[in-house]
A and B are shown apart, each in its own frame.
Chain A
Amino acid sequence: GQQLNQSPQSMFIQEGEDVSMNCTSSSIFNTWLWYKQDPGEGPVLLIALYKAGELTSNGRLTAQFGITRKDSFLNISASIPSDVGIYFCAGQKQGGSEKLVFGKGTKLTVNP
């Protein structure tokens, strides 16, 4: 089955640094989603993007829907220790019955 190419696989940063991760696909998506998963828990939706070129923020998080509709990035500014976790991108091609495709995740470690 198709998956999204998410990079980097892991990141080790110092508290206060900015973080950037991205997802690419050979297919066009109509929706891009970014999730965060804490250890032992299910993923939680952070940001949802619906239009090419859309730039959306949620607190210190900013995500963009690429113009080509084949990519998206997530930025986290001024990272804090509780940002630690695995971040997943996900894409959906059409409304209605189309399934959700996930990236393999970016594991973020923040050193205090």
Chain B
Amino acid sequence: EAQVTQNPRYLITVTGKKLTVTCSQNMNHEYMSWYRQDPGLGLRQIYYSMNVEVTDKGDVPEGYKVSRKEKRNFPLILESPSPNQTSLYFCASSLFAQPLDLNQPQHFGDGTRLSIL
């Protein structure tokens, strides 16, 4: 089954304690992306990756790092989390960044809810 798997699904942690949210896809997709979703702001792209070892900043990259050492994994790293990073995070993947059509949609994970105290 085609899947994008994020872990953990929920995390409550404290300011400054480094954390990593993992994302793995089993579809051999080239394009992967991280979004955060906040009430009233919709989805905002944090980072994306066109392929292995190729990553680019999205709209809101500050305070985040990513890596793409293998095609299937795209972890999101918060080196020193702060309360303004409390959010719902989604990882997504697609075969290519463009075109995105119904035959090759962008698959989203189920989300990771982070609370930074």
Contact, CB under 8 Å: A45 / B100: yes
Contact, CB under 8 Å: A50 / B99: yes
Number of A-B contacts (CB under 8 A): 87
Q: Across the interface, which residues of B come within 8 angstroms of A94, CB to CB?
A: 98
Question: Would A42 and B100 be within 8 Å (CB), given that A88-B43, A97-B50, A99-B48 are in contact?
Answer: no
Report if B79 contacts A (CB, 8 A).
no
Contact, CB under 8 Å: B102 / A58: yes
Chain A's interface size range is 20 to 34
Question: Would A92 and B92 be within 8 Å (CB), given that A99-B45, A99-B58, A103-B42 are in contact?
Answer: no
Report if A66 contacts B (CB, 8 A).
no
Interface digits, B45-79 against A, CB 8 Å rule (1 contact, 0 not)?
Answer: 10010100000101110000000000000000000
Interface digits, B32-43 against A, CB 8 Å rule (1 contact, 0 not)?
Answer: 010100001111
Question: Would A104 and B41 be within 8 Å (CB), given that A1-B59, A48-B100 are in contact?
Answer: yes
Given A1-B58, A96-B50, 10 other A-B residues pairs in contact with their CB atoms under 8 A: A1-B60, A6-B42, A31-B98, A50-B101, A95-B99, A98-B98, A99-B45, A100-B106, A101-B45, A104-B42
Binding site for A on B (CB under 8 A): 4, 33, 35, 40-45, 48, 50, 56, 58-60, 90, 92, 97-102, 105-111
